[in-house]
Amino acid sequence: MPQTPTEPESIDLEKPNAARVYDYYLGGNHNFAIDRQMAEEAIRMWPELPLIMQANRAFLRRAVQHCADQGIRQFLDLGSGIPTVGNVHEVAQQAAPGSQVVYVDTDPVAVAYSKNLLRDNPNASIIRADLRDPGAVLDSPEVAEQLDLSRPVALMMVAVLHFVGDEARPYEIVARYRDALAPGSFLVLSHAAPEGRPDVASSHEDLYRQRTATPMTMRHKADVKAFFAGFDLLEPGVVPLPLWRPAAEADVDEHPERFTGLAGVGRKP
């Protein structure tokens, strides 16, 4: 029998998957019992986790809207995860019809659902690839078909680099993508950080390290800011998720630092 989007090949049900756990935090249903068990364990340790994930998703939407307002019509979303409401292509194509979007993820469930979601959208596609191999991503047929790298692109690295350990040389990975981008391109980035909740950050890292195939490495603000080398960092800089150009003051919590996620957008000169 042919595979369906709910039964893609190569699913490892022995371990939770970070993309599917994230989907559960956002209230999605593209996850399995093993993912839900880990998510519930994490929420018991850290009840605000779903709110943090929602704040991260809201940042993504604001940043995509900003890039579209600046004339960007091409988006490359690395580690895109399970499709949910407010995807990059939905925001971008509503703001600027005809915008081209390429999603990249390694999880077969994320790829299968995304292919199903995008089957009638000629301006958006997904590839199953590892963002840690920029050459494979940038040389893929989907990128060649959808994106013109001689023109500005918005490179999305939202809530994904904390799953790239130091041994993989994440700064070099970002630099390789940066060097392939045309001037006027944007880097949209968010990253887990321990500053706001040091009391639970280490135990959260331990949980991912012990239970998933993608251990988490939280990084401090100075380390997150270093990813923007070669980009002009836009105001307000690298800040807690809710503080990056909120739509309204009411959207900002009294203690935004407790969201333990940092966000920023940079433009390549």
Condensed to tens digits (0 to 9), the pLDDT of residues 49-63 reads 788 888 899 999 999
Distant-in-sequence, close-in-space partners of 229: CB < 8 Å, separation ≥ 6: 171, 175, 178
CA distance 21 to 38: 7
The answer to whether residue 4 scores a pLDDT higher than 60 is: no
**pTM for the full predicted model:** 0.86
Cβ–Cβ under 8 Å, residues 39 and 25 = yes
What local confidence, expressed as pLDDT, does residue 25 receive?
Answer: 81
Fold that domain 18-249+257-268 belongs to in CATH: Rossmann fold (3.40.50)
What local confidence, expressed as pLDDT, does residue 208 receive?
Answer: 67
The answer to whether residue 249 scores a pLDDT higher than 60 is: yes
High-pLDDT (> 90) share of the chain, %: 59
Distant-in-sequence, close-in-space partners of 264: CB < 8 Å, separation ≥ 6: 189, 190, 224, 225, 228, 233, 234, 237, 238, 239, 244
CA distance 249 to 4: 44
Cα-based torsion angle of the residue sequence 224, 227, 228, 230 in order, rounded to the nearest 10 degrees: 150
For 131-179, how does the pLDDT look when each residue is reduced to its tens digit (9 = 90+)?
A: 999 999 999 999 999 999 999 999 999 999 999 999 999 999 999 999 9
Domain boundaries, given as residue ranges, for the chain: 18-249+257-268
The answer to whether residue 264 scores a pLDDT higher than 90 is: yes
What local confidence, expressed as pLDDT, does residue 6 receive?
Answer: 45
What local confidence, expressed as pLDDT, does residue 47 receive?
Answer: 78
The answer to whether residue 88 scores a pLDDT higher than 70 is: yes
